[in-house]
Structure 1
Amino acid sequence: MFAPGPNSPIKNTDYRVVLPFYAYAALSFLLATIIISTDVGAFTQSHFNAKALAVTHTMALGWGTMMILGASHQLFPVLIEGKLYSNFLAHSSFILGALSIPLLIYGFYTFNFGVLAQTGAVGINLAVIAYLLNLSLSIKDSKSRNVHAVSAFTAVIWLLFTTLIGLLLLFNFQHPFLPEASVHYLSLHAHMGIIGWFLLMVVGVGARLIPMFLISKYENKKTLWWVYGLINAGLTLYIYVFFTDNHAILSLAPIALIAIALALFASFIYKAYQKRIRKSVDEQVKTSLLSVGMLSIPLVVILAFVILMANWGHRQFLTLYGFSIFFGWISAIIIGMTFKTLPFIVWNKVYHKIAGLGKTPNPKDLFKSNLFMGNIIAYVLGFMIFCAGILLTDTVLLNIGATLLLINAVLYNANVFFILFHQAKLK
């Protein structure tokens, strides 16, 4: 998630392509926290219930995916040292996703997997196809092939597999045609999205952005290629284990491969931090660094679940696993990177043509730092308290955590829209 700065030699993607994604993602984040705060009891039940499904897909599609799609329209040209192939395909991806995601979420919220939900799922797949086509044609016209661009492109392929499986499962609920019930395939659907889409994209792109924002000299492409290979190998092995019903020792192998990949990634980021030129690290980058540490939470949770094998905490572990992914490392890196990237995009929009007419503010001055700090404090406290509430099945803790997460989302939205509505101010 990167926007070229005012003096960047890379051609900026039209801001009209990128900004709607940021606005949509912010509002989706707010919606998810509202749903949570209205009924925390859903997180003391089985993870397969209407509210939990609605929140999960609001976070996965409306928040995480829409934000990544938008930001990567700005970032991908930088990774391939070229330009985005088509603004039309980019706009199509947004419109299809923006119209379709609410249909799917409403279907989950009402636990109705009929025509509305199915129409939403079809539209989401079309949005992903438009996005993948745009990236494919952009790469075709580019001469650059690096681990960051390859990771991003591979992640989108996994995203398409994820959404296609989701579409099949929706139809299977209404008109069974698969060998097993749709619930049987939910873990496959979820992990293709979590590992193949989110993890591969966040790790691949984060390895480019975090050192850049730290102004670090450290670079180790070999390590990053190992990370790329291990993540894909881990997910592929997981799929094999899933379809062969081999749940013995082999079921731990995918976890081991992903754990090694995350350890290598964490080591890469730590070395980049050590060799940084900019000694003072701003709060936005600190939040992104926090997200790297938070990657270990779902890994520990799922390992504990596999070892305990449905003993104490079966329901709580599964709920905590999903929550720690979508409200944990994914949200942390998005929150941090939003206020490193969005100000640059809006700065270019507002000041690009008038920069020489007077003194302009710095991009970092386009958002309110006090709102950002309040956002982060509410987010960290809310996340930790809600996690404790899940483990202890304590509705008091869940309500406190949900309220703090809602406050966090309100402050985040206030700051995002403060940037989006910024008007030129020359001195």
Structure 2
Amino acid sequence: MFTNDSSSGLQQTTSYKVVLPFYIFAALSFIISCTLLLLNTDIIHQHYFHPQTLAITHLMALGWGTMIILGASHQLLPVLIEGKLDSYLLALLSFVFAATGIPLLVTGFYLFNTGLILQTGAVLINASVICYFLNVIASISESKKHNVHAFFIAAASLWLFATTFFGLLLVFNFSRSWLPENSIEYLSVHAHMGLVGWFLLLIIGVGSRLIPMFLISKYSNPKILWWIFALINIALFGFIILKTSNAFEKLYYSPFLLVLFALALFANYCYRAYKERIRKHVDEQMKISLLSVAMLILPLLSLMAVIYFIRENSGSKLVLLYGYCIFFGWITAIIMGMTFKTLPFIVWTKVYHSRVLGKTPAPKELFSENLFKIMALFYLTGFILFLAGILLLNDLLLKSGAALLLASAIVYVINVAKTVFHQAKV
């Protein structure tokens, strides 16, 4: 019987009924995003404020990245705070509101219908985020364990709400002029509240716990994590103040340098965890998850170029490159790896939790490692080809890269389905 796997640290304290819908929705969003990318590769030749670009970006950010993180965090939060999830009802409402709102928002952007469709989607997404935020805060407040990981998640959930609420203002600003400037002037603030405040904070907060756990590493350094937490939040607050006060020109590199230093500390944290690991064999899932940490260098280089060229009133292509490296690079790589470290355990517990006697498979046997390797090959090749296509403005490279990314998404969905629909062997 399964008794000793690195996944065993994921104590089952949240019902699979709460968690699995998020994973399924995210998988479908990923395959739709890649399909839209393949059908609309010409957006690379357009300005980044383009209906199809906005639709794909928000589907990747909300439908793919955020939904799977919401699902995983509902499962992992009890592990990180050594407590329990406060409300299953809030978790389910969070899913229902998001699963209804995201398609409406994406459709509104794709058709550039800035009226009822887009506005309803934005309102529902905010309702989902409020449910999630209240659940996180209540769960943490009821827990006796207030460690640094809990603060990462709490701060990230607050930044997520700030992101979606500001996005709601931007949506209504299309028709009601709620803000002093037009919506495009605030895009960088909205985007970086989500990218840095939500994705980066939460991924570092959870990853700093899961990476050592999955590597079975003795390494732990809360002091470094507190430094990372402070640097990222100070940088984001600084960026918002500088950008909204039109003082960005004077100190435009300051927030970037703070985040760069924080990421260097996190990279060193992961390296130390890797060096001090007990389990010497590193599986393919962990390899691609660790690769995602290294892939952060690509959006950072893109951002440096964006900062420089936007000051020179150019660089629209670099903004697209920056977004692509984040959503199809860093975020997708870490999700691909962590999906098959967390999802198999959730399904294993669902199927085999009542079995006391008899042999059961290990969680890693619930998905296909061969399919995972094929997915990784398609993904990495497609990512590089599409990246080259953006840089060279080559349509053949763009189509080839997008086709391989879609192929990787199809294989990912097949492997997720194989895991989710696993049945107990007699």
By the TM > 0.5 criterion, same fold? yes
For residues 351 and 102 of structure 1, what CA distance do their matches in structure 2 show? 34
Q: CA deviation at 1:38?
A: 0.8
Number of aligned residues:
422
Structure 1 residues 151 and 337: CA distance shift in structure 2, 3 A: same
For residues 144 and 328 of structure 1, what CA distance do their matches in structure 2 show? 34
Moved more, 391-400 or 298-307: 298-307
Query: Any idea what SS the aligned residue of 1:82 has?
Result: coil
Partner residue of 2:424? 424
For residues 55 and 6 of structure 1, what CA distance do their matches in structure 2 show? 33
For residues 277 and 148 of structure 2, what CA distance do their matches in structure 1 show? 21
**Structure 2 counterparts to residues 234-245 of structure 1, below 5 A:** 234-245=235-246
Partner residue of 1:404? 404
Structure 1 residues 6 and 161: CA distance shift in structure 2, 3 A: closer
Q: CA deviation at 1:297?
A: 1.1
Structure 1 residues 54 and 239: CA distance shift in structure 2, 3 A: same
Q: CA deviation at 1:307?
A: 2.7
**Structure 2 counterparts to residues 260-409 of structure 1, below 5 A:** 260-309=261-310, 314-356=315-357, 358-409=358-409
CA contact under 8 A between 2:10 and 2:79: conserved in structure 1?
no
Structure 1 residues 6 and 36: CA distance shift in structure 2, 3 A: closer
**Structure 2 counterparts to residues 17-416 of structure 1, below 5 A:** 17-309=18-310, 314-356=315-357, 358-416=358-416
For residues 375 and 102 of structure 2, what CA distance do their matches in structure 1 show? 26
For residues 155 and 41 of structure 1, what CA distance do their matches in structure 2 show? 34
Moved more, 377-386 or 242-251: 242-251
Q: CA deviation at 1:11?
A: 4.6
Q: Structure 2, unaligned stretches of length 5 or more?
A: none
Query: Any idea what SS the aligned residue of 1:170 has?
Result: helix
Q: Could you list the per-position Cα deviations for residues 79-99 of structure 1 after superposition, in whole angstroms to 9, with x for gaps in the alignment?
A: 110000111111000001001
Query: Any idea what SS the aligned residue of 1:251 has?
Result: coil
Q: CA deviation at 1:313?
A: 6.8
1:14 aligned onto 2:15: yes
Q: CA deviation at 1:12?
A: 2.0
CA contact under 8 A between 1:316 and 1:393: conserved in structure 2?
no
CA contact under 8 A between 1:155 and 1:196: conserved in structure 2?
yes
Q: Could you list the per-position Cα deviations for residues 14-61 of structure 1 after superposition, in whole angstroms to 9, with x for gaps in the alignment?
A: 110000000000000000000001120012211111111110000000
Structure 1 residues 7 and 236: CA distance shift in structure 2, 3 A: closer
Structure 1 residues 329 and 355: CA distance shift in structure 2, 3 A: farther
For residues 44 and 251 of structure 1, what CA distance do their matches in structure 2 show? 27
Q: CA deviation at 1:5?
A: 7.4
For residues 312 and 248 of structure 1, what CA distance do their matches in structure 2 show? 13
Q: CA deviation at 1:247?
A: 2.8
For residues 89 and 352 of structure 1, what CA distance do their matches in structure 2 show? 25
Query: Any idea what SS the aligned residue of 1:47 has?
Result: coil
| Aligned amino acid, residue 364 of structure 1 | K
Structure 1 residues 38 and 274: CA distance shift in structure 2, 3 A: same
Q: CA deviation at 1:112?
A: 1.0
Point out 4+ residue stretches in structure 1 off by more than 6 angstroms. Answer: none
| Aligned amino acid, residue 101 of structure 1 | I
Identical residues among aligned pairs (%)? 54
For residues 62 and 7 of structure 2, what CA distance do their matches in structure 1 show? 31
Q: Structure 1, unaligned stretches of length 5 or more?
A: none
Q: CA deviation at 1:8?
A: 5.3
Query: Any idea what SS the aligned residue of 1:250 has?
Result: coil
CA contact under 8 A between 1:288 and 1:333: conserved in structure 2?
yes
CA contact under 8 A between 1:10 and 1:81: conserved in structure 2?
no
| Aligned amino acid, residue 102 of structure 2 | I
Q: Could you list the per-position Cα deviations for residues 302-338 of structure 1 after superposition, in whole angstroms to 9, with x for gaps in the alignment?
A: 1122234455971221100001000111110100000
CA contact under 8 A between 2:7 and 2:342: conserved in structure 1?
no
| Aligned amino acid, residue 410 of structure 1 | I
| Aligned amino acid, residue 409 of structure 2 | A
TM-score by length of 2: 0.97
Structure 1 residues 9 and 316: CA distance shift in structure 2, 3 A: closer
Query: Any idea what SS the aligned residue of 1:143 has?
Result: coil
CA contact under 8 A between 2:7 and 2:214: conserved in structure 1?
no
Q: Could you list the per-position Cα deviations for residues 96-148 of structure 1 after superposition, in whole angstroms to 9, with x for gaps in the alignment?
A: 10011000000000011110110010000000000111111111211111111
| Aligned amino acid, residue 229 of structure 2 | Y
Query: Any idea what SS the aligned residue of 1:30 has?
Result: helix
CA contact under 8 A between 2:55 and 2:109: conserved in structure 1?
yes
